[in-house]
Structure 1
Amino acid sequence: MISRSTLSSVAAGLLVLLAALLSACLPALGASGPWQQTETVEGRLVAAVDGAGSLDSIPLGLHLKMKPGWKTYWRSPGDAGLPPQLAWDGSANLAGTEMRWPAPHRFTLFGIETFGYDGEVVFPIAARPAAPGQALDLRASVDLLVCSDICVPQRLDLTLALPEGPASSAGADANLIARFASRVPGDGAASGLSIESVQAAGKSLRVVATARDPFVDPDLFVEAGDGTAFGAPRIDFADGDRRIAVTLPVTGEPSALEGMPVTLTLVDGLRAMERAATVEAPGAGQTGDAAGLAAMLGFALVGGLLLNLMPCVLPVLSLKLLSVVSHGGSAPREIRAGFLASAAGILFSFLVLAGAAVALKLTGSAVGWGIQFQQPLFLVFMVVLVTVFAANLWGLFEIPLPRAIADAAVGGHGGHAPSLRGHFATGALATLLATPCSAPFLGTAVGFALARGPLEIVAVFLALGLGLALPFLAVAAFPRLAARLPRPGRWMVALRRVLGGALALTGVWLLSVLAVQIGPAAALAVGALMVAVVLALAVRRRLPGRIRFAGGVAAALLAVAAFGMPMALDRPASQAAAATDAEWVPFDRAAIAEQVAAGRTVFVDVTATWCITCQANKRLVLSRDPVAGRLFGGAVVPMQADWTRPDDRIAAYLAEHGRYGIPFNMVYGPGAPEGIALPELLTEAAVLAALDRAG
C-alpha cells in the first residue's frame, strides 16, 4: 500500500507542476497594483515595464473602469463636472509625475454639454524617480466625480510597487497604456488632421479643419482662458468630407472673441489633434490660406530646381549635354526654340503626374511621389527605353522608321541637331528619371498638395516642373551661351558613344531595382533580352537589302518579350519582402509605441531600392560611424520599412505624417513619443541630435 505521506508528497508535486504550467501559459503582465472598487467605478495603477531599470521617466497608467451608465470627466469638463485629481503623498522614490489626457467624448443632457469618458479609460502618466535604478513605491489618492442621473464623488486609494531590475516590456499592460497613449491628441501630423483657421463669427466661433482621409464623426472641444463656454457645434462638410467648418455658439455671458487665446481639441473617432490658437477677425484666415499656398509654391519651385542636382537625375544629363552640344554654332532662334521645347516636355510631364495623382486620390488609392517605380512593368518600360536611346546614340539606327522614333526620342542621328520633338522627349525623360528622388523642400510641397484638393495638386506640381525646367529656360533666355560652343563635327561621334554608355549604366541600375521586386532570374532575363536587342540592331546594319527589315522586327519582338518576364518569373511578394537588411528590424507600426513605452529609442527608415537619395543616405550617413554605432549598438531599435514594392501599411504610415515620398526617417523615444522627422538629405549631426533628443 502507498502511505499517506507518499500521497501527500505526490499531490504537492503535482500542484507545483500545475502552477508552473499555468504561469508559463498565462500572458506576461506588468507591475500592476491591486484593483480598488466602489459601487460606480474601479481603478488601479499599471506600469508598462516590469522593473525600474535606469529609466529617468517610467511609463505608468491610471486605469479606470466605470460601471454601465456612469462617466467621469476630462481636464476641461464643460458646463458641469470636475476632472480627476491625484495626490501622491506617501510615495517613495518619486520626484514628480505628469499625466496626459486621451481625447474625450461629448455628453449632452438637457442642453448641458460635458466632456469626459465612460466605459474604460487609461490616463498615461510619466513618473520621474528621485533616484533612477531604485525601486519605486507609489501611493495615489484619486478623487473622482462619477455621474449618471446623479453625481457621486469617489475616492480610490491605489498602490503600485515597481521593483529594481531590468525595465523590460510588461506585455499586456504595456499594450494597454500604449493603446490609450495613442489617443492623446498630438499636433495632427500623425493623425492627418489640420486646423486651418480660427475666427470670430458674431457671437460664435468658426473653425475650419481638414483631414487627409474623410471625416466620419468629428467633434471639437474648445478651452478658453477666461472661462468662456461654447455650445454644441454645427458642422458643415465639404471637399469630399475632407474639410469641415465648425461653428460653436458662445453660451452664458457674451465675450469678445477676437484676440482670445484658445486651445482646440479636434476629435474624429480614434484620431485627434490639439492646437493652441488665437481667435482672428472674420476673413483673416483666407489671407493665411493664400499665404500658405504661396509659400508651398515657393518650396515647390526650389525643390524642382534642386532636383537637377540630385543623383537620380544625373543619368539624364547625358541627353542634356548632347542637346546643348548639338546647338553649337546654331542661330539664337533655333537654340531658344529647342530649350523651350525641353521645358515644355518637363511641364507637360508634371501635368500628367498631377492628373494621375488627382485620379488616384479621388478613387481612394495610395498616392505618392515616385510610386510608379514600384511597378515592374514600368521598370521594364524604362529599361527598354534607355536601351533604345543608347542604341541610337551608338549609331545602330539606320532604317527610316527606327530613325524617326529615335529622332523623336533623343533627337536625330549622326551630327544632325535634335528636332523639337526630340527636345520635348528629353524633358519628359528628365521628369521620369527625377521622380525616384525627394529633394529638400520637395517633400514638404508634395505633402501639402496631396493632402488638399485637385487645384492645389496641379498648382504645386506645375511649380515643381517649372523649377526643374529653370536651367532650360535660362538658356532659352540667353541663347548665346549655347551658340558659343564648338560646331558639331566628327568629335560628336565619340561623345555619343560615351553618353550611350552612361544611359546603358542607367539601364543596369533599373535592372537592379527590378531584381529586388521580381527576383534576380527575371531581371537577368530582361537584361539578356536587352543585350539581344542591341546585338540584333548591330547585326541588322550588316544585312543586305530587305533582310535588314527582319533584324528590326527581331529587335522589336525581343523588346516586347521583356514585358512578359515579370509575369512569367515573378517571385512571391513574401520573398521580396524578406529582403530587409539583416541589421534592421522589419517595420511594425504597432511595435513603435510598445518600444517607446518600454523606454527604448526607435529609428524608422522608410526606403526603397529605386530611391537613389535613400541609398545615398544609407551609404554616406547610416552605414558609417558614429551613426552606425548608435543605430546598431543595441541601445536603439533600427526599424526599416522597404517600399520597393507597393505596401499599404507603409503608404498609410507616410500619409500619417503628411509625407507622400521617400526618403523619410523618424526617431521615436521617451523624449519624443510623437516622433522627430528628419530632413530628406541626412547628415550625421541631424541624426545624432534626434537620437539624443528622443532618448
Structure 2
Amino acid sequence: MPSRLFHRLAATLFFIAASALWNSAIAQLGTKTTGQGTSVVTTPYVRAELLAHAPQGVAPGQPLWLGLQITHQPEWHTYWKNPGDSGLPTDLAWTLPAGLDAGEIAWPLPKKIPIGTLANYGYEGTVLLPVPVTVASTFAPGPLAKDATIKLRASWLVCRKECIPEEGEFTLQLPIKSTTALNGAAFDSAAKALPQPVLAGTNGVVPDSQAQIADGNVLNVSVQGLPVALRGKTLDLFPETAEVIDNSAQWKQAWNGSVWTAQIPLSAQRSASPSLMPVVLAEQAAPGHGTGPDTRTGYRAELKVLGTWPQGASLAAVSPALEAALKANAAQAGSAATPAGGSGASSLTLTAALLGALLGGLILNLMPCVFPVLAIKVVGFTQHAQDRRAHRISGIAYTAGVVLSFIALGALMLGLRAAGEAVGWGFQLQSPTVVASLAALFTLIALNLAGVFEFGHFLPSSVASLQARHPVADSFLTGVLAVAVASPCTAPFMGASMGLTATLPAPQALAVFAALGMGLALPYLAASFVPAVARALPRPGAWMDTFRKLMVFPMLATVVWLVWVLGQQSGIDGAGALLILLVGLSLVVWALSLAGRARVWMATVSIAAMALLVWAFAPHVTNMPAAQAATSSPQVSATGWQPWAPGAAEQIAAGGRPVFVDFTAAWCVTCQYNKKTTLADANVVADLQTKNVALLRADWTRRDPAITAALASLGRNGVPVYVFYRPGKPPVVLTEVLSVDEVRATIAQL
C-alpha cells in the first residue's frame, strides 16, 4: 500500500522533530562545563569558580585562603548556613595535600529572600565563600614541587521560583613559593562582608545580650553594644540555628538608647531548643535582586536563652522536597560514576525493574494513545496473512523499530540528565514544537489514509516504489511511529521501573528501556509467529480500503488531542495558530496531488500562502502567555484543587492535615482518564472532604525542574503519579491507573 511509504516518511519527520528538541536542549545548557581539571563550572544559572589567596606563598604560619565564588544569574540565589524555611546550604568537600587543613566556611552576611509565604536566607549577585586553611609545620611538598593541587567537590541548590540542585568538581594548581595575590581584592571584600563580633561597651565589659522566652511562642531579644551607625535603624536578624524562629513572620523591634530589642515569634515546626543561640544582625537590605553592591556590615552576638523552651512541634517525617531533590541529584551523580561493569543495584532490584518494564509495555498496548498505530498494523497483518515468512520478518522488523526507539529515547533522556537538565519520561511532549510536529504528522497520515493524496502522484517513481522494495524498513519505521505516540503514556508497573533508571548505571538503565519496548512489541511479534493468527484473519479484499478510510478518524482524534495539549501549553492563541497551520498544510498537500497545469498554479499559490502563515502564526505556537503562566485556571480553584509548589505538601502535612498530590500533564492520556473518572467520583470526592484532605495538582505539561525533582524524590520520572502525604508518616504512592476502591481504601487509613 502506498500509505506504508508515507508511514516511513512520517516516522522520519518525527525524528527530525526530536532532533530539533535535542538541539534546543543543548542550546539551553549554554556553556556549562563540569568535570575534573577546571577551576570554573558554568551552568545556565550560576558561574562557580575556585579561588585561592596566599600573599606569602604556601608556608607554615602564613595566611592561606581558599574559596568558592558564585555569580548568580539575575533573580537566582543560593543559601546561607541556615537557609531559612526551605533550601540547603552550599557544601564544600576538599581534597588537599598532606599538611594542609581546611576550616569551616566563613559565611558572609546573607540577605533575607521572601518567597511567597516563606522566607529564606541566602545570596544573590556575586558572593565568595572563603575558607581558612592551616599550613602545618610538617608541610613538605618536596624540593622540586612548584604547585600544590587543590581539589574541591561542591554542591549547591540554586533557586528562583523553581530550584535546581547542582554540583561541580574543581581543580586548582596553587603555586607554593610565589605570591598569589591576584584574588586579594575578592578575599578582602569577603572579609569585610563577614559578621563582626558585637563591640564591647565603653567600660570594656562585654555587653549583656540575651533572649527571653515569653508566652511559650515568642523570643524577647535584647542586644547591647551595637555600633552607633546602626542605632535607630530597622535591622534584620539571621539566626545561625535553623528551625527555631518563624522566618517569614512580621515582628516588632525598637531602640532604647543603645539597646536594641525585638519580639520574634517561634516557629510552629520548631525542632531546636538551644541554650546559646548565635545570631547575625544587620541593617535591612534594599529591595532588589543583587543588582548593586551590598554595603551592609553585619554583627554577630551569642544570645543566652533564658526561660524554659516550650514543647516544640516535631517536623514531618517526610523530608522537604528540596532536600530530596539534592539527594536525588547526588544519587544520579553517584550512579553515573559507577563503572559499567559494576552492579549499581542488586540483581533482584534490576530483575524487578526489567519485569515491571516488560509488563508495563504489554499493558501499554491497551492505552488509547497507541490505538491509531496498532489499527494500521491490522492491515499489515492481513496483507502478510498468506505469506508466513513475510509475516515473521515484518514482526521482527516492527519489534526492532520499537525496541531501538525506546533505547534511543531513553539514551536521550539520560544524556540530557547527565548534562544537567531536569527531564523525565515523556519530556519530548513538554516541547510545543514537538507537539505541533506530531499534530502535523498525524494530519498528513489522516489525509493519506483518506485518499486525498498518494506519494506516487508527486514523487519520482524510484522513490514511490521504495515500499515495495523495502518492506522490512517499512515495518521497522512503523515501530518507530508506535513509540512516538506511546511515549507520553505511563502504564501500570512502568512508573517504578522508569524511576529506577535514575539510579542505575547507563547500560542497566537502557536495558530497562529495551524491556519496555519488548513488552510493547511482544503481542505483535508473538502473533507473527503463531499460524493460527494468520488463519483467523480475513483475506485481502475491498474491505481493506474501507478499513483504511475508517482509520482516518482515530488519526484525526489524535490531532484533536495534540491541539488540546498545545492549547494547555501555549494558550488558546497557540491552539488556534496550530489549527490554521494544519489547514495550510492540508491545502499544500492537496495542491501537490493535482495534475497538469492546475498542480503548478495551485501548488505555487498554496506554498506561498503556507510560508506566509508560518511567518505570521508559528511564533504563537511556541509562546506561553504570561497570564497563563502566572495564574491557575478558575476550574482548578472551583473544584478545590490548588497549584502545587515545592515543599507545600510537606508544610501542610507538618501542620497536621493530610495532602493528596496529583502529578499530571495534559499530554498524559492516563492522567486525563483518571482525572475524569476516579478523581471525579462522587464517593472519592466526599471521602476527601470528610478527611479534610488538601488537594494539590502539579502540572508537568511544560517543563518544570521542581516537579521533576519532586518526582525523583518519590522514585519516579514520569506521570501520572498520585501521592498521599500523611502527618508524621512516609508518603503513600498509588498505582498509575487509579481505581475508586484503591483511593477510598487509602483515604480511610489517613
Give the TM-score normalised by the residue count of structure 2: 0.56
- Give 1:446 shift: 0.7
- Give 1:382 shift: 0.3
383, 387, 391: which one aligns with 2:443: 387
Question: Is 1:343 aligned to 2:399, yes or no?
Answer: yes
431, 452, 462: which one aligns with 1:375: 431
Paired position in structure 2 for 1:459: 511
Question: Is 1:352 aligned to 2:408, yes or no?
Answer: yes
| Amino acid of the structure 2 residue aligned with 1:213 | N
Query: What's the CA shift string for 1:610-644, capped at 9, x where partnerless?
Result: 11100111111111111122335682211111111
Matches within 5 A, 1:641-652: 641-652=698-709
Paired position in structure 2 for 1:434: 486
Paired position in structure 2 for 1:3: none
Paired position in structure 1 for 2:328: 212
Question: Is 1:64 aligned to 2:291, yes or no?
Answer: no
Q: How far apart are the structure 1 equivalents of 2:358 and 2:648?
A: 38
Paired position in structure 1 for 2:265: none
Matches within 5 A, 1:612-651: 612-631=669-688, 635-651=692-708
Q: Secondary structure of 2:324's partner?
A: coil
Q: How far apart are the structure 1 equivalents of 2:374 and 2:397?
A: 16
Q: How far apart are the structure 1 equivalents of 2:242 and 2:307?
A: 7
Contact 2:244–2:272 (CA under 8 A) maintained in structure 1: yes
Matches within 5 A, 1:485-564: 485-538=537-590, 540-541=592-593, 543-545=594-596, 547-548=598-599, 551=602
Contact 2:659–2:724 (CA under 8 A) maintained in structure 1: yes
474, 477, 482: which one aligns with 2:526: 474
Contact 1:312–1:612 (CA under 8 A) maintained in structure 2: yes
Q: Give the stretch that moved more between structures: 611-620 or 624-633.
A: 624-633
Query: What's the CA shift string for 1:408-466, capped at 9, x where partnerless?
Result: 99x96xxx899333222221111111111111111111111122221122111111111
Paired position in structure 2 for 1:687: 743
- Give 1:302 shift: 0.9
Q: How far apart are the structure 1 equivalents of 2:402 and 2:608?
A: 30
Query: What's the CA shift string for 1:371-410, capped at 9, x where partnerless?
Result: 111101101110111111111111222353766899999x
CA 1:36–1:552 in structure 2 vs 1: closer, same or farther (change >3 Å)?
A: closer
Paired position in structure 2 for 1:675: 731
- Give 1:31 shift: 7.2
Q: Secondary structure of 1:589's partner?
A: coil
What runs of 5+ residues in structure 2 fail to find an aligned partner? 1-117, 120-212, 222-239, 248-267, 279-300
Q: How far apart are the structure 1 equivalents of 2:440 and 2:499?
A: 31
Q: How far apart are the structure 1 equivalents of 2:464 and 2:670?
A: 30
Question: Is 1:602 aligned to 2:662, yes or no?
Answer: no
Contact 2:344–2:505 (CA under 8 A) maintained in structure 1: no
Query: What's the CA shift string for 1:659-680, capped at 9, x where partnerless?
Result: 10000111113263x3211111
Q: How far apart are the structure 1 equivalents of 2:378 and 2:674?
A: 27
Question: Is 1:191 aligned to 2:324, yes or no?
Answer: yes
Contact 1:369–1:435 (CA under 8 A) maintained in structure 2: yes
Q: Secondary structure of 1:502's partner?
A: helix
Q: Secondary structure of 2:330's partner?
A: coil
Paired position in structure 2 for 1:397: 453
Q: Secondary structure of 2:538's partner?
A: coil
CA 1:528–1:670 in structure 2 vs 1: closer, same or farther (change >3 Å)?
A: same
| Amino acid of the structure 1 residue aligned with 2:631 | A
- Give 1:158 shift: 4.9
Contact 2:394–2:472 (CA under 8 A) maintained in structure 1: yes
| Amino acid of the structure 1 residue aligned with 2:515 | A
620, 628, 642: which one aligns with 1:575: 628
Q: Secondary structure of 2:677's partner?
A: helix
Residues matched between the structures, number: 475
Contact 1:600–1:669 (CA under 8 A) maintained in structure 2: yes
Q: Give the stretch that moved more between structures: 319-328 or 601-610.
A: 319-328
Contact 1:451–1:658 (CA under 8 A) maintained in structure 2: no
Query: What's the CA shift string for 1:343-374, capped at 9, x where partnerless?
Result: 11111211210220221121011121111111
Q: Give the stretch that moved more between structures: 365-374 or 485-494.
A: 485-494
Q: Give the stretch that moved more between structures: 509-518 or 289-298.
A: 289-298
Question: Is 1:663 aligned to 2:720, yes or no?
Answer: yes
Query: What's the CA shift string for 1:76-118, capped at 9, x where partnerless?
Result: xxxxxxxxxxxxxxxxxxxxxxxxxxxxxxxxxxxxxxxxxxx
Query: What's the CA shift string for 1:253-306, capped at 9, x where partnerless?
Result: xxxxxxxxxxxxxxxxxxxxxxxxxxxxxxxx9697122212211111111111
What runs of 5+ residues in structure 1 fail to find an aligned partner? 1-26, 49-58, 70-118, 121-145, 147-153, 161-172, 194-210, 217-236, 244-284
Contact 1:35–1:44 (CA under 8 A) maintained in structure 2: no
Q: How far apart are the structure 1 equivalents of 2:390 and 2:678?
A: 45
CA 1:290–1:323 in structure 2 vs 1: closer, same or farther (change >3 Å)?
A: same
Paired position in structure 2 for 1:268: none
Query: What's the CA shift string for 1:19-40, capped at 9, x where partnerless?
Result: xxxxxxxx99997357799xxx
Q: Secondary structure of 2:550's partner?
A: helix
CA 1:241–1:386 in structure 2 vs 1: closer, same or farther (change >3 Å)?
A: same
Q: Secondary structure of 1:213's partner?
A: helix
Contact 1:32–1:45 (CA under 8 A) maintained in structure 2: no
Q: How far apart are the structure 2 equivalents of 1:338 and 1:668?
A: 48
CA 1:436–1:62 in structure 2 vs 1: closer, same or farther (change >3 Å)?
A: closer
- Give 1:685 shift: 1.9
Q: CA RMSD in A?
A: 4.4
Identity in percent: 33
Question: Is 1:319 aligned to 2:376, yes or no?
Answer: yes
Paired position in structure 2 for 1:21: none
Question: Is 1:292 aligned to 2:353, yes or no?
Answer: no
587, 590, 608: which one aligns with 2:644: 587
Q: How far apart are the structure 1 equivalents of 2:649 and 2:704?
A: 18
420, 444, 452: which one aligns with 2:496: 444
Contact 1:46–1:62 (CA under 8 A) maintained in structure 2: no
Query: What's the CA shift string for 1:535-569, capped at 9, x where partnerless?
Result: 4434554x442542565666677777776645245
Contact 2:577–2:620 (CA under 8 A) maintained in structure 1: no
CA 1:566–1:601 in structure 2 vs 1: closer, same or farther (change >3 Å)?
A: farther
Q: Secondary structure of 1:606's partner?
A: strand
Greater RCO (CA < 8 Å, at least 6 residues apart): 2
Q: How far apart are the structure 2 equivalents of 1:381 and 1:370?
A: 15
CA 1:42–1:423 in structure 2 vs 1: closer, same or farther (change >3 Å)?
A: closer
Q: How far apart are the structure 2 equivalents of 1:155 and 1:47?
A: 19
Contact 1:326–1:417 (CA under 8 A) maintained in structure 2: no
Contact 1:33–1:46 (CA under 8 A) maintained in structure 2: no
Contact 1:44–1:63 (CA under 8 A) maintained in structure 2: yes
Q: Secondary structure of 1:387's partner?
A: helix
Query: What's the CA shift string for 1:641-664, capped at 9, x where partnerless?
Result: 111111122111111112100001
CA 1:637–1:403 in structure 2 vs 1: closer, same or farther (change >3 Å)?
A: farther
Contact 2:426–2:488 (CA under 8 A) maintained in structure 1: yes
- Give 1:497 shift: 1.0
